[in-house]
Every structure is written in structure tokens, then in C-alpha cells.
């Protein structure tokens, strides 16, 4: 049976970059955040979101993600409401994807809120990617063309590293990519050994 490796980390930790190295090692990657964006284009999901958050978040028939983010990242209850709509749809999407990966010993499930959503409980092991706060802020400001204040708001809406680490099987420090690659190689070796033993 295909084992699920959860990969998570706070915004700007560089978990997507780390995921690409696992992909290069031949492990299929499921990007939950991308899947979330995809399911939010489904008319029934759009309708459910509009029911909760109103028509002001709609622009040209689609959800304006920045407007929605401004609402949900300011108030945890609003974020929970959004997650209650999106998470079941992503779960269904993932289950369908997983059926097609049966011949792989491992898949990687990459999600920003792996712990917050409770999805980590369905993973066979969890990898958390961490980086210094300043590195994370700089990456997101550059990537999203946003402000330091808005990045900090999003960081504060997520679990802190010291909440994630005790629940993780592996931790990758990602301030220096070359050092991170060494850590990935070690994890792949451990997974390979475990696979041979099972």
C-alpha cells in the first residue's frame, strides 16, 4: 500500500522548493494548496463560498483571492468557515489522485496547514520545513509582491514551528538550500531502508 509522507512548513519556509527535490527523486507530489485553488474554481464551491462571504469577493465570475485572504487571515473563525468548504473538496480530489499512484511506495502530500487541518493524522510520516523568520518574510514579500505586515499576518494565522516540530518525524532547515539538500538525501535514505524492511 502506498504510504503518505506529509510535507509542511510555514509560509515562506520554502516547502515547495523542497518538494521539487523529492519529485526529482521519483516521488509523486500532491500540492494541496494548488488543489485548493483548483477546487475553488468549481461553480458549486464558488456558490458555497459566496453564501458565507458575500458577493464582494467575486470579480469577473471568479473569486478574488486577495479579497478573500484579507477577510480570512484577519479572523480565525472566518478561516475555519472557508476551510470547512474547501477541505472536503480537496480530500476527495486527493483520494482520486492517490488511486492513480498505487504502484509507488510513497507519495508526498504538501500542505501549508497539514497540522491545522488534522490531515497529518492520515500521514505515515511528516516532514516539517523550517527557516528563519526574516528569510521567510523576504521570500514571501518578493514572491507575492506584498508587504511585511501582510506576511506577518499570514504567519501569525498559521501554527508556529515549535508547535509543528514535536509532531514531525523529520525537520529540514531551509535557510541554506545546499544544506537542505543534504538533509533531503538523508531522509530519502531512511525511507529507502524502511521500504526494504516492510
CA atoms of 145 and 153, how far apart (whole Å): 15
**At a CB cut-off of 8 Å and minimum separation 6, what does 42 contact?**
89
**At a CB cut-off of 8 Å and minimum separation 6, what does 47 contact?**
none
Q: Residues annotated as binding site for ATP?
A: 12-17
Q: Residues annotated as binding site?
A: 12-17
Question: Cα 39–14–176 angle (5° rounding)?
Answer: 170
CA atoms of 156 and 128, how far apart (whole Å): 17
Are 22 and 7 in contact by the 8 Å Cβ rule? The answer is: yes
Instruction: Map grid coordinates 516532514 to a residue.
Output: 127
Amino acid at each position: 500500500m502506498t504510504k503518505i509522507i506529509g510535507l509542511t512548513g510555514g509560509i515562506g519556509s520554502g516547502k515547495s522548493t523542497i518538494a521539487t527535490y523529492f519529485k526529482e527523486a521519483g516521488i509523486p507530489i500532491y500540492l494541496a494548496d494548488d488543489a485548493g485553488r483548483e477546487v475553488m474554481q468549481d461553480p458549486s464551491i464558488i456558490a458555497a463560498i459566496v453564501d458565507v462571504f458575500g458577493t464582494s469577493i467575486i470579480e469577473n465570475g471568479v473569486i478574488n483571492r486577495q479579497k478573500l485572504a484579507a477577510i480570512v487571515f484577519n479572523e480565525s473563525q472566518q478561516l475555519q468557515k472557508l476551510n470547512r468548504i474547501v477541505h472536503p473538496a480537496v480530500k476527495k480530489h486527493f483520494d482520486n489522485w492517490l488511486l492513480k499512484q498505487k504502484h509507488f511506495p510513497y507519495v508526498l502530500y504538501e500542505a501549508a496547514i497539514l497540522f491545522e487541518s488534522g490531515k497529518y493524522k492520515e500521514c505515515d510520516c511528516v516532514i516539517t520545513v523550517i527557516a528563519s523568520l526574516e528569510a521567510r518574510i523576504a521570500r514571501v514579500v518578493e514572491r507575492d509582491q506584498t508587504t511585511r505586515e501582510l506576511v506577518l499576518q499570514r504567519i501569525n494565522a498559521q501554527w508556529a514551528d515549535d508547535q509543528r516540530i514535536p509532531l514531525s518525524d523529520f525537520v529540514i532547515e531551509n535557510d541554506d538550500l545546499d544544506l537542505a539538500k543534504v538533509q533531503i538525501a538523508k531522509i530519502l535514505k531512511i525511507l529507502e531502508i524502511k521500504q526494504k524492511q516492510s
